[in-house]
Chain A
Amino acid sequence: MQLFLLTAHEIHELLIKKEISAEELNKAIYARIEAVDDRIQAYITRTAGKALDQARAVDKQISNGEKVTPLAGIPIAIKDNICTDGIKTTAGSKILSNYTPPYSATVVKKLEAAGATIAGKVNLDEFAMGSSNENSAFFATRNPWDTSRVPGGSSGGSAAAVAAGAAVCSLGSDTGGSIRQPASFCGVVGMKPTYGAVSRYGLIAYASSLDQIGPFARDVTDCALMLNAICGHDPLDSTSAKQRAMDYTSFLKDDVRGLKLGVPEEYMVEGIDPDVRDLVIKAMEKLESLGAVVEYTTLPHTDYALPTYYLIAQAEASSNLARYDGVRYGVRTEGTGDVMDMFMKTRSEGFGAEVKRRILLGTYALAAANYDHYYLKALKVRTLIKEDFVQAFKRYDLLLSPVSPTTAFPIGEKMDDPLQMYLSDICTISVNLAGMPGLSIPCGFVGGLPVGLQLIGRPFDEGTLLRTAYTFEQNTDYHKQYPDL
């Protein structure tokens, strides 16, 4: 039995039957990391020692007959823009390459409270700005299905680690598609919860009105278990929602009869690879055969989503990233002169090209002379985009679309053309602008590379997404296929 291929819920059964120990499990995952990560390069920091201590504590609880949670002992990889007390947290940036947070993000505390072990910190595009992981200041993570290709981004390390068996589940963050697109490229389940469903406290901010933490998992059941652990109100995040606690596994029903599913035609037209589109159509037909009603619908302002996103996200980024000044944390580059000289040198050496480009664009959009024309305009169009979803959800329980227009692209292909890179997020960004939950689930392969189906739900209706995804999964076998590493 290869432990690294199992899901968390399968492992949990073995743990409570005492067929394996959490220590064995964590050692098996570490052996897998040792065996494959020189080719995948998902991990920036590995935390084997700490994880084994946590695992032994879980084993003790089990041998004492104590009840443990479904995530107890399960090794989880954390995207390196989520703060971990005493463990280096770099955000994939040179400017934070020496930063060790004195506190943990709320999501990390919650996972640790559930007994999960932290396998390590995984790679990302610098400050989560990118769609391929190539913007990491350290190295480019590779796609486990084809190591000459990108894993997607920005949570590429989180997706690749789970796909490669180098973690059972992981956490990522999604500002414009940064969980769903790498989940699609790596053939795993990835979910961006509703804005406000998961605390952002301890997440290194990119664009605060769009950022949301969410899970990666090998199947929908594990995704629900991760949501159970991380969702909930947090007084330390003022945008966090006061929700009723719920058990997301209660939605795991193999039944979509009567559900009304809309497919926005704007996500199925030009620019979408025909093979990807065909798989989405097959998925529509599959759900229809299982009893759902599937119809084409429209989100009329889709063409305006990408420019709106880039104005809002970069305006927020230019403000959020002003804090990196070489004074309180991070790498300082000394100048020869005064404090201004130090600020300029620190930021110029510490940030990569894409981060600088986005800061400049954001600063431009917020400049007094441009504010109304760019930033305010984008906020107004955001209202129209959100309204499109409100109208669609009057008629449909959820929406279906491709996650990304293509499968994973070759490393280097889009690095010199930022606009082409940005188009990789065309199907996912509106969901962040509107604050809806979105999920990527494997729906087939093109040329041996995975393709993801995106499900988009009403705010705080993660349940219908899980139910539909679970039904799809029970009636297909894409989630049972693994890359040959």
Chain B
Amino acid sequence: MQISGKDVGQLAFLSRLDLTADDLTICTKSLNEILGYLTVLEELDTGAVKPALHVRPIKNVLREDALQPGLEREQVLANGPEVEDGAFVVPRIV
């Protein structure tokens, strides 16, 4: 299955990536090559096979519901590109 430049543009938007026209052309070409290579999986009949999300038999790993020490607010905010009054600042949302 081939994907078009328009499809890749839509994927880029979903991925929050702004591709230049050149990037879009290069990405479309290499994604089509990679997708072509992936078709080999179609040879396998996996109708009765269970998917392996993880290799180890673990689920619902819970910890005790007890207070744990955490990072101080200032430490967490220290890496913020823009910070004000103990909060992260972002451009206009609505």
A residues contacting B by CB (< 8 A) are 98-100, 102-103, 195-196, 209, 235, 238-239, 241, 301, 303-304, 306-308, 310-311, 318, 322, 325-332, 334-335, 337-345, 347-348, 351, 353, 356-357, 359-361, 363-364, 367, 374, 376-384, 386, 418-419, 433-435, 459
Contact = CB atoms under 8 A, between A and B. Distances in A.
Given A327-B80, A374-B38, 13 more contacts: A103-B71, A327-B90, A329-B79, A331-B81, A337-B92, A338-B92, A339-B93, A344-B18, A356-B23, A360-B8, A361-B31, A383-B50, A383-B52
A339 B19 contact: no
Contacts of A310: 34, 38
28 contacts: A99-B79, A102-B79, A307-B38, A328-B79, A328-B88, A329-B79, A329-B81, A332-B81, A339-B90, A342-B90, A348-B17, A357-B27, A357-B30, A361-B31, A364-B35, A374-B38, A376-B51, A377-B41, A380-B46, A380-B51, A381-B46, A381-B49, A384-B44, A419-B33, A419-B34, A419-B37, A435-B55, A459-B56
B54 A344 contact: no
A329 B56 contact: no
A311 B38 contact: yes
B49 A384 contact: yes
Nearest to B76: A102
A418 B30 contact: yes
Contact of B40 (A303, A338, A341): A303
A342 B89 CA distance: 12
B71 A379 contact: no
Contact of A360 (B17, B18, B80): B17
Most A CB within 10 A of own CB, among B27, B80, B81, B92 = B81
A307 B78 contact: no
A360 B44 contact: no
A342 B42 CA distance: 40
B50 A380 contact: yes
A360 B71 contact: no
Contact of B93 (A235, A325, A338): A338
A97 to B, nearest CB: 12
B11 A345 contact: no
A342 to B, nearest CB: 5
Q: Is the interface of A mostly helix, strand, loop or mixed?
A: helix
Nearest to A331: B81
Given A344-B17, A356-B17, A382-B52, A327 B88 contact: yes
* 4 closest Cβ pairs, A-B complex: A435-B55, A379-B51, A329-B79, A332-B81
Most A CB within 10 A of own CB, among B8, B38, B49 = B38
A238 B61 contact: yes
B86 interface: no
Contacts of B23: 353, 356
B78 to A, nearest CB: 7
Contacts of A347: 15-18
Contacts of A328: 76, 79-80, 88
Contacts, number: 158
A339 B91 contact: yes
Contacts of B58: 238-239
A337 B15 CA distance: 18
A360 B10 CA distance: 10
B14 interface: yes
B24 to A, nearest CB: 10
A390 B8 CA distance: 39
A363 B11 contact: yes
A243 to B, nearest CB: 12
A241 B11 contact: no
B78 A356 contact: no
A103 B70 CA distance: 10
Given A361-B31, A378-B41, A386 B15 contact: no
A353 B24 CA distance: 11
A364 B31 contact: yes
Contact of A351 (B17, B34, B44, B53): B17
Contact of A304 (B30, B40, B61): B40
B63 interface: yes
Nearest to B60: A238
Contacts of B30: 357, 418
Given A338-B91, A348-B19, A361-B34, A241 B8 contact: no
Given A327-B80, A347-B17, A434 B55 contact: yes
Contacts of B61: 238-239
A364 B9 CA distance: 11
B92 to A, nearest CB: 5
